[in-house]
Amino acid sequence: MTTFAAVLSRLLRTDPGRPLVTFYDHATGERVELSVTTYANWVAKTASLLVEEHDLERDQRLRVDLPTHWLGPVFLGAAWTIGLEVLVEDDPAGAAPDAVVCGPDGLEAWAPLADTLPVLACSLRPMGVRFAEPLPPGVHDVGVDVWSQPDAFTAYDPPGEDDPALPGRTQGELWRTAAAGSLLTDGGRLLTEANPASPPGIASFAEPLARGGSLVLVSHAEPGRLEATYVAERATARFP
């Protein structure tokens, strides 16, 4: 399985109803669980949003500036479904992205660029709903726009294993490395505080998918509750 689409397709064939991404925010008490099917639907809606509403195409670049949140894996998957190269940090070479997705904390930095490239903002409120307050001019509210998108998406020009997934890493390299990883055993359940949309956190998202496992993602973790979450979710491994 050397593209994201192939990995997700295999998961949908084998056990579509099982949990794939479970998200906790210990600060707010929020818990969101996405089955394989629900995750795939979110990826499809988001991919359609990026392509149909913002004209993004294979080999363009998406900057994902999101904190630890379940929407991070959704935007990663949507980008790789299209064939976009994902930037999870500013490119040291100074290359500009073709579009940006951010959370509330990123609005100040990215809103001034909304005249020159698509800037999509996620409220990070429960269930991905819209911002409670108006956004800066030109910034698109994902919580408004994504719900009208279809639950299925087929790339017009699907990426292959040689397409870039991250700077310096192709989709084939990413998924071969993930399949050979050591964070969990095949079918395991990984609990992590690492942000999937960050250099150290990419593996915490990719390995569970590639190895037929699942992810328990915890934001604002409280040490006293982390062990209870690990036990309640029947996790089998931790990272870091």
Sequence-distant (6+) residues with CB within 8 A of 89 are 198, 199
Ordered domains of the chain (ranges, CATH): 4-239 (3.40.50.12780)
Asked if the model's pLDDT at residue 1 lies above 80, the reply is no
Residue 90's pLDDT is what?
A: 84
Q: Identify which of 23, 50, 28, 53 has the alpha carbon closest to the alpha carbon of residue 38.
A: 23
Query: Which residues lie below 8 Å from residue 66, measured CB to CB, with a gap of 6+?
Result: 72, 75, 101, 102, 103, 106, 122, 124, 195, 197
Whether the pLDDT of residue 96 is over 90: the answer is: no
pLDDT at 227 over 80: yes
If one compares 40 and 224, the residue with the highest pLDDT of the two is 40
Residue 231 has phi, psi (to 5 degrees) of: -70, -45
Residue 120: per-residue pLDDT: 98
Question: Using one digit for the tens of pLDDT, what is the confidence trace for 134-160?
Answer: 999 999 999 999 999 999 999 999 999
Q: pTM score, two decimals?
A: 0.97
* For range 69-85, the mean pLDDT: 98
Q: Rounded distance, CA 179 to CA 206, Å? A: 8
> Distance between CA 75 and CA 12 in Å, rounded?
18
Tokens of 227: 């062990």
For residue 233, what pLDDT is reported?
Answer: 98
> Where does 31-134 have alpha helices with state H?
36-48, 71-82, 107-110
Q: How many CA atoms lie within 13 A of 202 on its CB side?
A: 22
Q: What tens digit of pLDDT does each residue of 26-70 get?
A: 999 999 999 999 999 999 999 999 999 999 999 999 999 999 999
